[in-house]
Amino acid sequence: MSALPTLNPPIRTLLGPGPSDVHPRVLAAMARPTVGHLDPYYLQLMDKLQNGLRQVFRTANRMTFAVSGTGSAGMEGAVVNLIEPGDSVLICVNGVFGGRMCDVAERCGAKVTRLERPWGEVFTPDEIRNAVAAARPKLVGIVMAETSTGACQPIEEVAKVVHDAGAMILVDAVTSLGGIPVEVDAWGVDAIYSGTQKCLSCPPGLAPMSFNERAMEVVKNRKTKVQSWYLDASMLASYWGSDRVYHHTAPINMSYALYEAVSVILEEGLDACFARHALNHRALKAGLSALGMQYAAQEGYQLPMLNAVRVPAEINEAQIRSALLQRFGIEIGAGLGAFKGKVWRIGLMGYGARPANVYLLLSALEQLLAEQNFRFDHGAAVAAACDVYAAG
């Protein structure tokens, strides 16, 4: 029997679709002493964390908490609680994660209607209104920030259409929370979930969620048990609520991490945080445009934190991604599904959304593109980004 090799992960600049660079304060928080999951200190921390998450979600929902699991656990947790076998569900699919929501709903026994748009495009309220009228669903699921395409889906008008039809709306905010405004109460979102590893600048491991009173009434009045014991919101409500009824052993140090991540955002201010993401997105977009590269998502509906960029045909996209990682320590993402081999997915999320990373990536890209004899004005990308920052 031999000991395992010493743990020594490489230092990377994480500019892919997630996880994002973790804020140093969050890493430090994770190293704090572990306490028990029913320790008075931890129970107080849960209260404070819930208050912080309510501010980030902009909601007064009592049932705002963090599921012990990644963003995909948040998706599954929302669907399994709100859907029973035979329920009609309409899910909007314009990328990988809308498709994943369909799969989860089908596993719950739902009758799923897929409303589809080409990858990179968003849904209009009118087409959702027509689809809801035809399907008469109990629930409409939609992805706010489609990580596979970089498309930003407006939610407010869609939520009104869904509610006018008597249905509930479920929103995937895995990539949007902390990077663009998420207005749970103002938009009337019934249920929403996110993940820690994107704009919250935290390692993957928790899924912030929020259910309004209408959604919790649906959970309480189910005819069948929730398919998942672990994700049953009625049981989790007893743990996260004032009763503190034991449910599972929570990941204590990950809770520290999320607490610190939310603290960092609230100290910066949500509006300032959103403005920072937008500014760095504009600088990156200007730099990539100077290289002749265009975005894959519909103009006017492009996410600031996830930049899906079409790769010119004459470029070996996989070779450039590999060189960025091996030579510069920069991770960017490949395309998925319909975009496989056609786009790069560049994340500017949370702590990673800062000018140093934009300049680092653009200068490294210029060098690697020149090595592939791609024609562009040398220095133009960095100069274009610089102009954006100078303008503010």
Q: Which fold has domain 24-267?
A: Aspartate Aminotransferase; domain 2 (3.40.640)
Cα atoms found within 13 Å of the Cα of residue 362, Cβ hemisphere only = 31
The pTM score is: 0.96
pLDDT tens-digit profile of 26-79? 999 999 999 999 999 999 999 999 999 999 999 999 999 999 999 999 999 999
pLDDT tens-digit profile of 171-228? 999 999 999 999 999 999 999 999 999 999 999 999 999 999 999 999 999 999 999 9
* Residue 246: band (very low, low, confident or very high) from pLDDT cuts 50, 70, 90: confident
pLDDT reported for residue 244: 85
Cα atoms found within 13 Å of the Cα of residue 103, Cβ hemisphere only = 7
Mean pLDDT of 225-247: 91
pLDDT reported for residue 290: 97
Whether 269-391 and 24-267 are alike in CATH topology: the answer is no
For strand 88-93 and strand 139-143, is the pairing parallel, antiparallel, or unpaired? parallel
CATH assignment of 269-391? 3.90.1150.10
- Residue-wise burial string across 299-325, b where 16 or more C-beta atoms lie within 10 A, e elsewhere: eebbbbbbbbbbbbeebebeebbebbb
Q: Which residues pair with 209 in a beta bridge?
A: 65, 193
pLDDT tens-digit profile of 122-146? 999 999 999 999 999 999 999 999 9
pLDDT reported for residue 392: 86
Query: What is the overall mean pLDDT for the chain?
Result: 97
Domain parsing of the chain, residue ranges:
24-267, 269-391
Residue 17 has pLDDT above 90, yes or no: yes
Contact predicate 89/111, CB 8 Å: yes
pLDDT reported for residue 322: 98
Interatomic CA distance for residues 74 and 108, integer angstroms: 15
pLDDT tens-digit profile of 78-102? 999 999 999 999 999 999 999 999 9
